[in-house]
Every structure is written in C-alpha cells, then in structure tokens.
Amino acid sequence: MTLDPAMKAFVDILAAAGKPPNFAEIGVAAAREVSAQAGAMLGTGPAMAREEDLTVAGAGTSLPARLYVPEGEVTALLVYLHGGGWVVGTLDGYNAVLRRFAKGSGCAILSIDYRMAPEHPFPTPVEDCYAATVWADQHRAELGLGAGLPLVVGGDSAGGNLTAAVALLARDRGGPRLAAQLLIYPATDCDFERASYVRFTEKLPLTSSAMFWFWDQYVADPAERAHPLASPIRAESLEGLPPALLVVAGYDPLRDEADAYGERLRQSGVPVRAMTWEGLTHGFFQFAEILEPGGLACDEIAAELRAMLKG
C-alpha cells in the first residue's frame, strides 16, 4: 500500500505540530480540549435547509443532539454517533462533515452527544445511543420528517462500534426497525494482536497505543471487553442485522477487525457493501472539508448510501 500524497502531507503536518498528542500523558481533560480545538479547524460545510439543536432521550437522562436537514427530498433519518474513542468528540467537531454528508446522501442527520468514558464507561454510551435511536424512531414526524421515513444508524470509529452495538440491541429488543447501518472504520473487537494493530503504531491520526488508552477508559476490565456490545464481532450470531455499508481505511489499526466484521456479517446472511480506501488513514471521513481525498471519499460514501436506501 502507498499513502495518498495529500494524506501523507496532512499526516506530516500533524506530526510536525506534535499531533495527535499522547493522550495517556496529557489525560482526559486535556485530550478533550485538544479534540475540541481540532474540531473547530475542520471547516464549516454547506448550508442546510434547516439546522436545529435539540434534546433527545438517553438512558435515563436527556442528551444534546443536533439535527441537519438538507435541501431537497429527504431520503432517510440517519442517527449519527461520533467517533473519539468513547472519550473525546463533540457535536461541533462533526458539523462540517455531517452537513456535507447530509447534502450528498439526502439524509436528515440527527447527531447524538452521548455520554462518554471514563465518567460514563461501558455500557452507558451503548444504552444512550440505543435510547436516542428509539427516540428518533418515535419522533420523526415531530421533527418534520414524516413518520414513515427510513431510519438508519451510523458512526465512525468508536461511533461505528456503538452503531454495531445499537444494531444488535435493535434486533434483540424488537426494534426499532433499521433500514441500514453505516459503519465507518468501526472498532469491532478487543483483540490487539491483529496485524493492523501491530503495524500502525505511530505517526498516524490514530495509533494502536491511542486505542489501548481509549479501551482502558471505556472498558477498564479486560475480561469485560469480550462482551458483544463492546466487541460486536464476538456476538454469538449476527443474523438478522440490517444491511451494512462498511467503510475501511488502509492505514488504520482497526483495518483488520473492520474487514473481519464485514466477513462475519456476510457469512451471517447480512448484505454488506464494503468501500475501502487503501491510501487513506483512520479519520479521513471527518477531514472531508479540509482534505481533498477525504472529501471525495465522503461524497462517494454518501452516494452509495443514497443508492443503498433506494434499493
């Protein structure tokens, strides 16, 4: 594999600036501040027909959320779960890419500010995201979107992990019915011995050492990490899950587990559309408005989801 030249230049700039920092050294509060500052530098994205901050139901609490409604016909309601290792990430940091994705896919997007670790470790973020998805299913008409609009859940990285967990819960708890799941370079397993974990240890937007720290915050007890809602690939069965659009980055510690999850879904009879960008790193989706290959990839993913929803 060869790193895309624009991606390499971007990675080199980050490295020269000492980013990303060692989260284990700076701690949770500083990591969140760094993440928030980085999110503010990711552009603005296209204007929406409607954008609204609101409150949705979490697991026994209320959660901030943001609704993006694009111009033209709305194809689905996408409940979006942001990345950030279950520890960092904000609604604001996803403004640019979600506006762009809403425009390209035709989806109205409800971005969820779920509670994060270490203050709220596993399984609280999972339960928050499931409750928010149930809320979205029950309130589509109140959001001005039409009660019969297809419902999709999606997310990137840790948000992809939460997406897979929500899909499992929706199946096992009898709903809501999901038209699709969007898995963008998802974390699906707690196995740190996979080849991509061994290979990508430094000089990338996400390294294996950063993932070790994120897992420590999210599920402190290693024995508990094998729970299927923490490591969805370890679920006894993946049968009956909604069709998946799986997005994979070539330069990513999570590469191998994402590929393996896609294969398990296929073997379980779940339709999977896999899209792989060999020359891009983890994080390219969020960089869509400031990195040309990330933007092109975002647009292709949006077009693929639109086509997938149309059948």
Which residues are part of the catalytic machinery?
Answer: 157, 252, 282
Helix 158-172 vs helix 124-138: crossing angle, to nearest 10? 60
Chain mean position to CA 151 = 16
Q: Beta strands of 171-220 (E only): which ranges?
A: 180-184
The set of residues, in sequence order, having a beta carbon less than 8 Å from that of 92 and lying 6+ positions away, is 36, 39, 40
Cα dist. 107→50, 67, 98, 177 in Å? 12, 11, 10, 17
Encoded amino acid at 304, one letter: E
Which whole-number Å values give the CA distances from 48 to 51, 87, 98, 302, in the listed order?
6, 28, 10, 16
SS3 label, residue 276: strand
Dihedral over alpha carbons 118, 123, 126, 127 (to 10 degrees): -120
Bridge-partner residues for 79, per DSSP?
110, 153
Give me 161's structure tokens. Answer: 């992990």
Dist. CA 306–CA 108, nearest whole Å = 12
Tell how far CA 103 is from the center of its chain: 18
50-57 β-sheet, strand order: 50-57, 62-69, 107-112, 76-81, 151-156, 180-184, 244-251, 272-281
